Amino acid sequence: MNFLSHYYFDSTNTNAYQVVGSLLPDLVKNATKNHNIYPEKLDQNLFNNQNHSYILQGWKKHLLVDKFFHSSDFFTHHQHQLKLQLTPILLSSPIKPFFLAHIGLELLLDSLLIAENKIDVEQLYLQLNQVDEFELISFLEIAQLKDNDTFLNFYHFFKNEKYLETYAHTDKISYALKRICMRIWETPMNHNQEIQLTQILNAYKIKLSQDFIFIFETIAAKLIT
């Protein structure tokens, strides 16, 4: 799941450190693509203050949500269906259809959460700004992140630009997907392919809107149990 989908499970949580923890695996992945950290595997006593513990709780929750989501019939079905629709427009592109379908589905869920007023994106940013960056960086240092400066630059950009708010618009999702693909392929798609991508995503978003909340309710129930 993507940022806003993870936030759904903490949308009523007033603990800003747990909230940032639930987004942190994706923040780290986006900021420092070649540096992976696994704080959940370290001695938990290393995280010896309360805010570190809250961040770690959020981190573990993120991993659990992704586990439930990626093993669900919902994900398997919709990734496959979206892949079938995307394949014809990617014949001349280096992009793997299953890759685009995977990320596209996750961004569509983010978009639907905004469209259906299931989350307050502005509240998310307010909570992130309540987090003491010293506490966050000291957590990442314990977790052995190798490039804290690069992470902080991305984190500041993430908070200041508030680009998650743009996910309400399908063309912005297409643009985000193109930018993600450009990290891997120099010229992932042309303008016409981007237009076709937006059309497919628009249609699929309408289809998903009928029952998308089911997967969130299912995962929420599993988190409780």
- Each residue of 133-158: pLDDT tens digit? 999 999 999 999 988 999 999 999 99
Q: Rounded to whole angstroms, how far apart are CA atoms 44 and 148?
A: 21
DSSP classification of residue 187: S
Tokens (6 digits) for 78: 């919709």
Sorted by sequence, the CB contacts under 8 Å of residue 127 that are 6+ apart come out as 16, 19, 20
What is the rounded average pLDDT of the residues 93-103? 95
Q: Rounded to whole angstroms, how far apart are CA atoms 72 and 39?
A: 25
Packing angle of the helix pair 16-31, 121-128 (nearest 10 deg): 90
Are residues 14 and 33 in contact, defined by beta-carbon separation less than 8 angstroms? no
pTM of the shown model: 0.94
Environment class of residue 12 by beta-carbon count within 10 Å: exposed (0-12), middle (13-18) or buried (19+)? exposed
Instruction: Note the pLDDT of residue 36.
Output: 87
Instruction: Note the pLDDT of residue 71.
Output: 98
Domains in the chain: boundaries: 3-224
